[in-house]
Structure 1
Amino acid sequence: MTVSAVIVTYNRLDMLREVLSALQNSKSKIDHIIVIDNASSNDTQRYLTELKDQIEYIRLSENIGGAGGFNKGIRYFMEHTDDEYVWLMDDDTVPTPEALTELLLVAKKRQFGFLASDVRWIDGQRALMNMPAPLNRFDLVPDHPTKEIKLRSATFVSLLMPRDVVQRIGLPITEFFIWGDDIEYTERARRVAPGYLVPKAVVMHKMASNVGSNIITDSAERTKRYYFAYRNKMYYARQRGFMGYFKGQIRIGLELLRLVFWPRRVENRWGKIKVILHAIQDGRRFNPHIEYVHDRL
């Protein structure tokens, strides 16, 4: 069972070093380590260049976001390797030595669109940015499940996908830039075959703090980022059919109302309201092209 690991990085060299070290210590062999560098500073470029044949290094000429980085990484996996699976992760994702082994054990016994790791923060609690999304929205995922659980979607923080599924569904959408690209992509994969949480495949997501994205409580300087979050939500809600799109718009509308009437102080409240309204307007017309890739096999 051959595997390419794809890591997308941007100006987090200290974290990236730790991730690459963890991959090199994996108990299951990784056949190719593919690093997509979103035009990071010279220190990152110098370090990755010095690794030579330990990795496959692709440096981009500009930062095209996580979505664009994973698009390029999966394309490279399809066009330049013969591996059966691609294992996707951010540059702050530190897998345990057993993580890939556990993913491959499930891969041997199930047909799947994607397998997602159990993502923990540095204190061992679930990473709030990567909470499992069960197929049934009313199900509760135990804190320490003992068997695989069917998922609706998952994030690119340790995600295993089969080559034939990538061939069928195409690549992540570069135009998403950030936020929601992984949700849209795994929902696309799930339409081909089920997705699962693999509880024993544990990774650590070393974010600065264990918080989910929340436009109300987030700082003013991050406001513009939320344009992508809400515009992209409008797009992938539309892919869920009429009722899915209707529910998606309702959820966004409720988030907007909560922001407007939030009783406590909100940094840049009106700036955040404008960003959501702009994203809703653009999201109704947002119709990006899905790229399909030539399979080397």
Structure 2
Amino acid sequence: MTHVPSDAEFDPATATIAIVTYNRSGLLTRLLGSIAAMDPKPGHVVVIDNASTDDTTDVVESYRDRLGDTELVYRRMETNTGGSGGFSEGMRVAYELGSQWIWLMDDDVEVIDDGLAKMGKWAPRFKSIQGRRYDYDGSEFYWQYRIAEKMGIPIPFAPASFDSSGYKPMNSGCFEGMFIHRDIVKQIGLPDPRFFIYWDDQTYGWLASRKTQSVIVDEFVLRRTREIKQWDMGIRHMNASSNAYRYYIMRNRAIIKRYYQSLGVYRRVPFALGTALTFGKELIRLVFVERTVRGTSNLFRGLRDGRKIAKDSAWKPMPPLD
């Protein structure tokens, strides 16, 4: 006899995994393979392809029959919209499919076999949930789940350990594993594609935390499959970056500022301090992770272009859905 979940239980078929990929078909193959091996599986898998020029389309099509009853939805963007644009589109497609739960992830992770079951057991209690992730080398990845709201930056010394409750309150978000209910998406709208990359998931998670109790749970559900150059600082790591990231890290501070202003939480001095600390952190990243001082011009260019966003009288935050 088939067991029908009650209102208080989690039904895996109501969940959608939304993936953003760009020219990394080898990594995408590993992720789709891990989803095919999951038990239980989600009702849908949505793949947003940011105009890849490799064999991504063929890889996706090859998995249509391997996912069992899970429906695979493929959307190829006309241009590269960045991670922000991809996640915004992935959220939109999943929402329009009627998904109750949307699980976002990049293409450089794979899902633990029972990952959806682990997330689902928290679904009756919370509507914005972040699971944990193993790093490429198998170590426990530390994600900065709390932000100093007035400064708009992560708190690097937020406690890493969990108590007996198995969860910790968070006021941030990470699109590499964000598990969010459609009710919250409806209230805060889609992720903002104007970020292109960086700060988009932190801002979206912060917006979610203003509507519901957001939590990170002590459940390992993902594993990174791409090695990234790092500076190992013990439990925390600092990853290598790129000139594009450096530019958007600084430019997008202006978008966060506009969201803060729209919600009446912007405070000029602490936010400026947060921007200065961000600038300093990127200089440290250049010197200690990438062993260079080249790239600072991208930080200044980002600050310059951010001023244009700050002065744009037509700028509006993303609207609620429906």
TM-score, structure 1 normalization: 0.83
2:126 — aligned with what? 111
Aligned pair 1:234/2:251, yes or no? no
Q: Look up the SS of the partner of 1:152 in the other structure.
A: coil
Q: Please, what is the CA RMSD of the aligned residues?
A: 3.0
Determine whether 1:71 maps to 2:88: yes
Distance 1:171 1:291 in 2: 7
1:102-143 per-residue CA deviation (whole Å, 9 max, x = no partner) reads 1111111x233x101112202232335x44337895641218
- Give unpaired runs (5+ residues) of structure 2: 1-10, 66-70, 150-154, 232-237
Instruction: Provide the residue aligned with 1:152 in structure 2.
Output: 171
Cα distance in 1 for residues equivalent to 2:287 and 2:321: 53
Contact (CA 8 Å) 1:5, 1:30: kept in 2 or not? Answer: yes
Work out the percentage of aligned pairs sharing the same amino acid: 27
In the superposition, relative to structure 1, how do residues 267 and 188 fare at CA in structure 2: closer, same or farther (>3 Å)?
same
CA distance in 1: counterparts of 2:93 and 2:78, whole angstroms: 16
Aligned equivalents of 2:215, 2:253: Cα separation in 1: 22
- Say how many residue pairs are matched: 282
Q: Any conservation in 2 of the 1:173–1:291 contact (CA below 8 Å)?
A: yes
Q: 1:10 Cα shift? A: 0.6
Gapped runs of 5+ residues in structure 1?
none
* 1:133 maps to which of 146, 170, 177: 146
The correspondence of residues 159-174 of structure 1 with structure 2, limited to 5 A, is 159-174=178-193
Displacement after TM superposition at 1:174 (Å): 0.9
State the match for 2:50 in structure 1.
38
SS in 2 for 1:100: helix
- Alignment match, 2:275: 252
CA distance in 2, matches of 1:161, 1:31: 15
Q: Is the 8 A contact 1:4 1:77 kept in 2?
A: yes
Report the CA distance shift for 1:86/1:255 in structure 2 as closer, same or farther (over 3 A): closer
TM (normalized to structure 2)?
Answer: 0.77
- Kindly provide the CA deviation profile for residues 225-274 of structure 1, in whole angstroms up to 9, marking residues without a partner as x: 3111111133225544233x5323213324545739x98896344x41x3
Equivalences for residues 71-220 of structure 1 within 5 A: 71-79=88-96, 81-108=97-124, 110-112=125-127, 114-127=128-141, 130-133=143-146, 137=155, 139-142=158-161, 147-209=166-228, 211=230, 218=240
Deviates more, 1:43-52 or 1:193-202: 43-52
Give the partner amino acid of 2:309: F
Partner residue of 2:301? Answer: 278
Structure 1 pair 279–205 and aligned structure 2 pair: CA distance change class (3 A): same
The structure-2 alpha-carbon separation of the partners of 1:121 and 1:249, relative to structure 1 and needing over 3 Å to count, comes to same
Aligned structure 1 segments of 4 or more residues deviating by more than 6 angstroms: 143-146, 262-265
Change beyond 3 A, Cα 1:202–1:119: same
Structure with bigger helix share is 1
CA distance in 2, matches of 1:208, 1:143: 27
